[in-house]
Chains A and B, each alone.
Chain A
Amino acid sequence: MNWIWFHKLASPPHAYGIAGRLAPWFGWPAGMLILAGLYGGLVLAPADYQQGDAFRIVYVHAPSAWLSMLVYATMAVAAAVGLVWRIKLAHAVAAAAAPIGATFTALALATGAIWGKPMWGTWWVWDARLTSELILLFLYAGVIALRASIDDRDRADRASAVLAIVGVVNLPIIHYSVYWWNTLHQPATLTKLGKPSMAGDMLWPLLAMLLGFTLYFGAVLLVRLRAEILRRERDAAWLRAELA
């Protein structure tokens, strides 16, 4: 089998070009799906009989929470690829992904708190999902802080890769221990609100938002990857030729 295309992909000039060409193919569908999902979720879908209009925040909250974990997994896989095969581009992907993931996690936390105000009467409840999102945010903060504190780029790449992999091994343990902790200390009624079975006209906007957010992540990752390549290759000859 011919692997040349794969090796080409790992070279910064090719990746720079391909990322630039691919980004719109993610960005435009993402924009359309999110618009459709928002219209479907905020206008077309009926109000929930239990939660009223407050349930509508799930159309932003659930996709953010899903992406907060998907981005961490993406980052860890990219970090592992970079560490094992010493592909610098994979480290660039991991570096580009971390702040996106942290932002989605913060968004999931904020929307969770906003949803909690009408539901629970307070902005913050030590609910299992909110708490594990908070710990996830700490994990992102650790990876970003470690990368920022090391001046040597190669060392920064590989050290934060090790941390990302350690984090991804720990993530399920953290997740399940927080759930266990929560069921012990909280009355079970709160968690019952979590997973209502959804009617079709409530469900399709959510699926559209999930797909739209995922594609949006792809688009932002590609754009950030280009920026990261620019930063890393700023002295390279190909870049001077490309920009000339």
Chain B
Amino acid sequence: MTAPTGALAAAVLAFRRDLLLAMRHWGQVAQPLVFFVMVTTLFPLALGPELGQLREIAAGTLWVAALLASLLGLELLFRTDHADGSLEQLLLSGQPLAVLALAKGLAHWTVCGLPLVLLAPLVAVSLGVPIEANGAILLSLGLGTGILSALGAIGSALTLGLRRGSLLLGLLVLPLAMPALIFGARAIDLAIHGDSACGPLLLLSAMLVLCVTLAPPAVAAALRISSE
């Protein structure tokens, strides 16, 4: 008999397993990113190529595209684990489920959120955003995708295994994500116009802290409900 594994060790194992799985299926992981770039391309095509005009809507465009892309990425969070039964093993493992949920959420953010954040300055350049705003873009979307992963994890756990679950997921998560959208887009907009984006970024950080502390228990409860 092996020694009992601590919660932290279990969390690290869950995190590494998810990263490894993501690397083996990197085509799936790239889909939300391609979607992100595509959505941001729609705006110049729909509104015209004038960079001055695009700069005015760049903050909102980046954020809405990131919101939709991370919604798409949530498909990868629990659904395959639920389908092949490994989620049940996590539930039965006797480890605190909230900690495992946090680890899985973190892995999901590393795979889906982080690449999107790193890609965003590139997309921003195509929308006529000055280079000086890149810091604010990275911070705003970095904090924002964290919030979206946390909120999305709750929605994803609640809609596990439902027919047309992905449509429902958007309905559940988007209203909850609206405050993050407000502050996140505002931060980028301030930076584009050369102002300090400090205020909205601090508020975003506060939201992220709130989400990271409160979402894991909610995700754990939702997972228990969904896999009974």
- A residues neighboring B (CB under 8 Å): 83, 135, 138-139, 141-142, 145-146, 149-150, 154-155, 158-159, 162-163, 165-167, 169-170, 173-174, 177-178, 180-181, 184
Contacts and interface: CB of A to CB of B under 8 A. Distances in A.
Contact of B225 (A158, A167, A169, A180): A158
Nearest to B222: A162
B36 interface: no
A211 B218 CA distance: 35
Which 9 pairs from chain A and chain B are nearest by CB? Answer: A177-B179, A138-B175, A142-B172, A158-B225, A181-B182, A159-B158, A177-B182, A173-B179, A142-B171
A180 B178 contact: no
B228 interface: yes
Given A169-B214, A173-B179, A180-B182, A146 B172 contact: yes
A162 B223 CA distance: 11
Residue from the set B168, B172, B186 with the largest chain A CB neighbour count within 10 Å = B172
Contacts of B210: 173
A170 B168 contact: no
B158 A177 contact: no
B179 A163 contact: no
B174 A138 contact: yes
Given A173-B207, A177-B183, A177-B203, 14 more contacts: A138-B171, A142-B171, A142-B172, A149-B162, A155-B228, A158-B225, A162-B154, A162-B218, A163-B158, A163-B172, A167-B175, A169-B214, A174-B178, A174-B179
A142 B226 contact: no
A170 B228 contact: no
B interface, size bucket = 20 to 34
Given A173-B207, A177-B179, A184 B222 contact: no
Nearest to A172: B179
13 contacts: A145-B168, A145-B172, A146-B168, A146-B172, A155-B225, A155-B228, A162-B222, A162-B225, A166-B218, A167-B176, A170-B176, A173-B207, A177-B179
B60 to A, nearest CB: 12
Interface string B196-223: 0000000100010010001000100110
B24 interface: no
Contacts of A139: 175-176
B163 interface: yes
A172 to B, nearest CB: 10
Interface in B155-192: 158-159, 162-165, 168, 171-172, 174-176, 178-179, 182-183, 186
Given A138-B175, A139-B175, A146-B158, A159 B226 contact: yes
Contacts of B218: 162, 165-166
Contacts of A142: 171-172, 175
B217 to A, nearest CB: 10
B29 to A, nearest CB: 27
Nearest to A176: B179
B196 to A, nearest CB: 15
Nearest to B221: A162
A141 B163 CA distance: 17
Contacts of A177: 178-179, 182-183, 203
A149 B168 contact: yes
Nearest to A138: B175
A147 to B, nearest CB: 11
A169 B159 CA distance: 20
A141 B226 contact: no
B172 A149 contact: no
A146 B176 contact: no
Contacts of B165: 149
A4 to B, nearest CB: 30
B224 to A, nearest CB: 9
Contacts of B179: 170, 173-174, 177-178
A173 B175 CA distance: 11
B57 to A, nearest CB: 14
A229 to B, nearest CB: 22
A180 B186 CA distance: 11
Contacts of B175: 135, 138-139, 142, 167, 174
Contacts of A166: 154, 176, 218
Contacts of B214: 169
A178 B163 CA distance: 33
